[in-house]
């Protein structure tokens, strides 16, 4: 079965510092990996995805993520955090062996402090 773990409920970082939000996954086949961000009382916004190709994926708002097959990780990163990046972040995986649904991680709340 497919699963996604986000080991940190909360990540705090000072504005201007680099940020990392961690994600590890478990699938039986090749994974499609995604990151989404959710602002209060809003739906999820797509940030980036990894399907195949370069392990470093660049996405919206300056975010990037690195796919690491040996560590089954897909950590989200940004070189310089903004206060406006404060939100809830979800990692998701899709395993083609299990159909069309995504499995979402539990979410990580990012707080960027001014």
Partner 1 sequence: GAVVSQHPSRVICKSGTSVKIECRSLDFQATTMFWYRQFPKQSLMLMATSNEGSKATYEQGVEKDKFLINHASLTLSTLTVTSAHPEDSSFYICSARGTEYNQPQHFGDGTRLSIL
Residue with tokens 């370069």: 54
Contacts of 50 (CB under 8 A, 6+ apart): 31, 32, 33, 34, 57, 65, 67, 74
Measured from the CB atom, the residue of 5 and 82 that comes closer to partner 1 is: 5
Among 42, 55, 56, 80, binds partner 1 (CB under 8 A): 42
* Count of chain residues binding partner 1 (CB under 8 A): 20
Separation between Cα atoms, residue 33 and residue 78, nearest integer Å: 17
Return the residues of window 92-111 that contact partner 1 according to CB under 8 A.
Answer: 96, 100-102, 104-107
22 near partner 1, judged by CB under 8 A? no
Measured from the CB atom, the residue of 34 and 63 that comes closer to partner 1 is: 34
Shortest CB 36 distance to partner 1, Å: 7
């Amino acid at each position: 079965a497919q699963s996604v773990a986000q080991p940190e409920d909360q990540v705090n970082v000072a504005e201007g510092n680099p940020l990392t939000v961690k994600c590890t996954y478990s699938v039986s086949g090749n994974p499609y990996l995604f990151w989404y961000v959710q602002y209060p009382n809003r739906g999820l916004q797509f940030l980036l995805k990894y399907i195949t190709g370069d392990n470093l994926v660049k996405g919206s708002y300056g975010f990037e993520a690195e796919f690491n097959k040996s560590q089954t990780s897909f950590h989200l990163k940004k070189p310089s955090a903004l206060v406006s990046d404060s939100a809830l972040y979800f990692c998701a995986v899709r395993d083609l062996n299990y159909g069309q649904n995504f499995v979402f991680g539990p979410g990580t709340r990012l707080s960027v402090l001014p």
